[in-house]
């Protein structure tokens, strides 16, 4: 029996117009993502990582090509038709300062996804119970739900963002540079938290990062983007130990701690 991919991405293109110029941010990308897979997306700044995952979360529309989520195309759908995706996929972004509304309490921020139209059936009591549950899961004190984001440290704010993403019990978690803005000491803790949660709930993870060391730690497959194109895609250890593409080799060679592991 072969499992059905949770995402099927076919010939995906995203063009941006900048004045009279066209930027090909995502250039004919093809790949499948299997349920439970932890996929790292790496590549230098501007290689199209965020553009790709934003389209996967239906936050932006492809110029051409197709994205199927759980067997159904999400391209060109209305909001009403995207209920499955909105319930099943949640994102965590790099900077919790801009992704968390400073005027909302932490409790309101975390339960916001559950107040959206796609979750009509959820009562206040359900939401309050879920709030306590997810705050505990990410290592926050549920008593702090009435406080505001600025009263927390950077690492705690990212825990708030993770709690909000988990609240609707998603099947896919997309983290776009979710630990990149954190201090090194805090980064490891938040990274371990993401790893633990993904394992515990059997989540499918899309983990965008320019940090190859971090990706090796959490992902079982890696996709390397360069100028919007996939130049390499394979199991993590294979890509790190025996990279096939010269650009991947160059990327890996620029990480001091990995250099000794990479074949010349």
Ligand X SMILES: Nc1ncnc2c1ncn2[C@@H]1O[C@H](COP(=O)(O)OP(=O)(O)OP(=O)(O)O)[C@@H](O)[C@H]1O
In the complex, the residues that contact ligand X under the rule CB under 6 A are: 16, 18, 23, 25, 43, 45-51, 210
- Shortest spacing between CB 89 and ligand X, in angstroms: 18
Q: Which is nearer to Mg ion, 52 or 135 (CB)?
A: 52
Task: Give the residue with the Cβ less far from Mg ion, 41 or 140.
Answer: 41
Residue among 250, 223, 234, 262 at smallest CA distance from 42: 223
The C-alpha atoms of residue 50 and residue 226 are separated, in whole angstroms, by 13
Least Cβ distance, residue 151 to ligand X (angstroms) = 28
**Does residue 86 contact residue 171 with C-beta atoms inside 8 Å?**
no
Does 90 bind Mg ion (CB under 5 A)? Our answer is: no
Our CB check for Mg ion shows the closer of 27 and 112 to be: 27
The interface with Mg ion within residues 220-249 (CB under 5 A) comprises none
Residue 47 φ then ψ, to 5°: -80, -5
| 51 part of the interface to Mg ion, by CB under 5 A | no
CB of 52 to Mg ion, least distance (A): 9
Q: Which one among 47, 50, 99, 236 touches Mg ion, defined by CB under 5 A? A: 50
Site string for Mg ion, 1-40 (x = CB under 5 A): ----------------------------------------
Note whether 158 binds Mg ion by CB under 5 A.
no
43 contact choice in ligand X, Mg ion, none (CB below 5 to 8 Å, kind-dependent): ligand X
164: closest CA among 150, 149, 143? 149
- In the bound state with ligand X, the residue whose beta carbon lies nearer, of 163 and 176, is 176
CA distances for 229 relative to 180, 223, 247, angstroms: 23, 10, 12
Interface contacts to Mg ion, rule CB under 5 A: 49-50
């Amino acid at each position: 029996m072969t499992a059905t991919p949770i995402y099927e991405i076919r010939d995906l293109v995203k063009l941006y117009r900048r004045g009279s110029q066209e930027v090909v941010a995502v250039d004919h990308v093809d790949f499948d993502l299997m349920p439970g897979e932890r996929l790292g997306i790496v590549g230098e700044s501007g290689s199209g990582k965020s553009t790709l995952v934003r389209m996967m979360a239906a936050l932006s529309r492809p110029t051409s090509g197709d994205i199927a989520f759980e067997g159904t195309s999400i391209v060109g759908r209305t909001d009403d038709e995207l209920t499955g995706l909105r319930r099943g996929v949640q994102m965590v972004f790099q900077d919790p300062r801009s992704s968390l509304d400073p005027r909302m309490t932490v409790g309101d921020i975390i339960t916001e996804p559950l107040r959206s139209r796609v979750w009509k059936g959820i009562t206040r009591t359900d939401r309050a119970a879920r709030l306590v549950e997810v705050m505990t899961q990410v290592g926050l004190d549920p008593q702090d739900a009435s406080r505001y984001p600025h009263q927390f440290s950077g690492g705690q704010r990212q825990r708030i963002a993770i709690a909000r993403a988990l609240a609707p019990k998603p099947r896919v978690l997309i983290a776009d540079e979710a630990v990149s803005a954190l201090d090194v000491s805090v980064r490891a803790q938040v990274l371990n938290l993401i790893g633990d949660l993904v394992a515990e709930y059997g989540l499918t993870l899309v983990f965008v990062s320019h940090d190859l060391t971090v990706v090796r730690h959490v992902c079982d497959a890696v996709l390397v983007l360069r100028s919007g194109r996939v130049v390499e895609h394979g199991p993590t250890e294979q890509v790190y130990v025996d990279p096939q593409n010269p650009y991947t080799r160059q990327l890996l060679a620029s990480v001091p701690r990995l250099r000794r592991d990479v074949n010349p």
